Amino acid sequence: MASMPETLRAAVVQLHCTADAGANLDAADQFVRAAAADGAELVLLPEKWTVLGTPEAMAAGAQTLAGPAVSWARAIAAELGIDLIAGSFVQRLDGQAKTVNTSLHVGPDGEIRATYRKLHMFDADVDGDAYRESDREQAGDEVVLTTTGHGARRLGMSICYDLRFPELYRALVGRGAEILTVPAAFTLATTRDHWEPLLRARAIEDQCFVLAANQIGEYMPGYRCGGRSMIVDPWGVVLATAGDKPSVAVAELDFARLAEVRRQVPALANRRGAELYSRPAGREYEVKR
């Protein structure tokens, strides 16, 4: 039996998407082709690359799995022979009032290998702007691990706000994840202050490669995403970062390096059992004065 290749060339695509679905698709096509031309075998698009705008625009732009976005993703993955994590798109489900935020893994054969729906809804107030995803979207209910067509590497899926919930990534690495994907539309403020620390923390604590593709620029008046799409190695080192515009960042994922990190600091092997953390708290000690 042939051994798995020790490296995989990966790319993250940073886009400036708006409510113009046609322009978004054209940009995605351009940058995915550029990534593949640079040798990328695994390509990640950002969150809501099909349509990003007002709640009304996103509802109007929602698609099904039979829609043009998924048809394009399947066709280009097969044409270029790549694993494509098609960021996320606003999916319309029959009989459901709310949409879902769906990420797809399309294999080099053009077949859908995995479907992940965002678990955590972004209901927050940032820099005076209100975000209430749960008003129009319903959360997923499944942790999703998939396997790449190139190198049979195990990949854990997530979307944007999920990044703030480390228990999701610990569940993924517990299932064998070696790569974690984070398509996002992080706000300008949270990109500035939280994005890189969170990505590096997930890479370090789970000893995985992290691929993070963010949106950049204003997508409706007063609402901006911060870019800084990046690829991080299991030691927490940033291997590649996109520029301050729509662009592609590419890096080699070296799985011998991943194995070395897990040997050097065997934190995953040294974990205590989950039952320890679910026990009731021990007795409290009174502070004597």
Catalytic residues: 47, 118, 160
Token representation of residue 48: 């809501």
